[in-house]
Amino acid sequence: MSSMSRYAIGVSLFALVLVWVTGVVAAPLEVERRAISTDVFSKLKFFSQYSAAAYCEGNNNSTGTKIVCPVGNCPDVQSANTNTVSEFENSLATDVTGFVATDSTNQLIVISFRGSQSLRNWITNLNFPVDETDICADCEASRGFWRSWKEAQGGVLTAVKTARAENPNFKLVSTGHSLGGALASLAAGVLRSQGVTVDLYTYGAPKIGQTNLVKYLSQTDRGSNFRVTHLDDPVPRLPPSLFGYRHISPEYYISSGNTAQPTANDVTRYEGVNNKQGNEKDTGFSVDAHVQYFGHISGCGGDDFEFKMKRDLEMTDIVKM
C-alpha cells in the first residue's frame, strides 16, 4: 500500500473515531455564547505571536537575546523591547522547547512553549492515562502532558521567579500552540496554585486533564483564560471526552477560513468545561486549521512541518482504535 493510501485511511479512521466519540459522550453542559470585544481580539492576536515565536530555533537556544521570527509571523513581538531570561529546547524525554522572556514595551513576562514537532511529541499528546498533580486536590492531568511539564518545571519556575523579582509590576502570561498550549496550561496551573497571578493564552491546545483540574483552572481568580480554537482543527478534540478529559473554559472559537485573517466578528466565546459548541461540534480533520491562528503560527517549524504532523498523526494509536 502506498504512503498516500495509508495516510488517507489514517485520516478517515481518525474522523470516524471523532464522530463516534461525539455520538456516545453524554449530553453537554449548558453553554453560554458571547461575542468578543476588539480589545480581547487584539490580545488573542498579539499572544498568538508569542506562541509562534517558540517555533523559531533562535528563541530556544540563545538565552539573553531579543525575540525574533525570521519568517515574519511575530511582527508586534519583534518590534517590542524583549529579552529572554531562559531558553530551552529538546528536553531528553519529550522534546519540551520554549522560552521565558521579558517585554518592557508591554510590561510583560511571557512563558512560551513550542507545539508538537516530532513523533515523540505526538506520542506524548496521545498518552491518555492520567497522573495526580499537585495543582489542586484530586486534580488529574494527562500523564504525558504532566511528565512533559515536570521536565521543564524547575527551569521555568526559576526563570519566572527571577523575572518577577526584577520586574515586579509586569504582568505574567503563559502561552503556547498545540502541545505547547497544554504545557502552558499546566504552567499556569502550578503558578496559580502557588498564589501567582498568570493569564493563559492557548491556540489549538488539546484537553489537558479531567474535571477537577480544568474546573480549578477555569474558576480561579488568579488570572484569565483564553483558549482559542479554529474550525475543524482536530487537536482540541484530543484526548476524546469519552476518556473523561475536559477543557479549560472559556473557548474562543475562530470561524473564518484557513486563508482568511479573522476579525473580532469571526470569534465567538463559549463557556463550559464540556461544551459541545465551537470546535468540539466539528468532526472534520484539517491540519491547515491547526496551524492557522491569526497567521501561520508554526511557520518557523519549516516547510515540512505539516507533512511531519500528518505522518505522525497517522502513526499514532488514535487512528487505530
Region 244-260: what's the mean pLDDT? 96
33, containing H or E segment: strand 33-35
- Choose between 23 and 71: higher pLDDT: 71
The model's pTM is 0.87
Question: Domain residue spans in the chain?
Answer: 3-320
Answer positive or negative: Cα dihedral of 63, 96, 311, 258. Answer: negative
Distance (Å, rounded) from C-alpha 254 to C-alpha 269?
9
pLDDT tens sequence across 73-130: 999 999 999 999 999 987 777 789 999 999 999 999 999 999 876 655 656 656 689 9
Percent of the chain with pLDDT over 70: 80
Burial track 206-232 (b if 16+ CB lie within 10 A, e otherwise): bbbbbebbbbbbbebebbebbbbbbbb
Catalytic residues, which ones? 178, 233, 290
Give the CATH architecture of domain 3-320.
3-Layer(aba) Sandwich (3.40)
Report residue 205 as a C-alpha cell: 491546545
Query: What is residue 17's predicted lDDT score, i.e. its pLDDT?
Result: 43
Task: Give the C-alpha separation, 104 to 274, whole Å.
Answer: 37
Residue range 38-47, pLDDT digits in tens: 999 999 999 9
The overall longest dimension of the chain from CA atoms, in Å, is 59
Q: Is 38 exposed, middle or buried (0-12, 13-18, 19+ CB in 10 A)?
A: exposed
Name the pLDDT band for 237 (thresholds 50, 70, 90): very high
Per-residue pLDDT band at 72 (split at 50, 70, 90): very high
| 279's grid cell | 470546535
**What is the pLDDT, as a whole number, of residue 149?**
95
pLDDT band at 1 (very low <50, low <70, confident <90, very high): very low
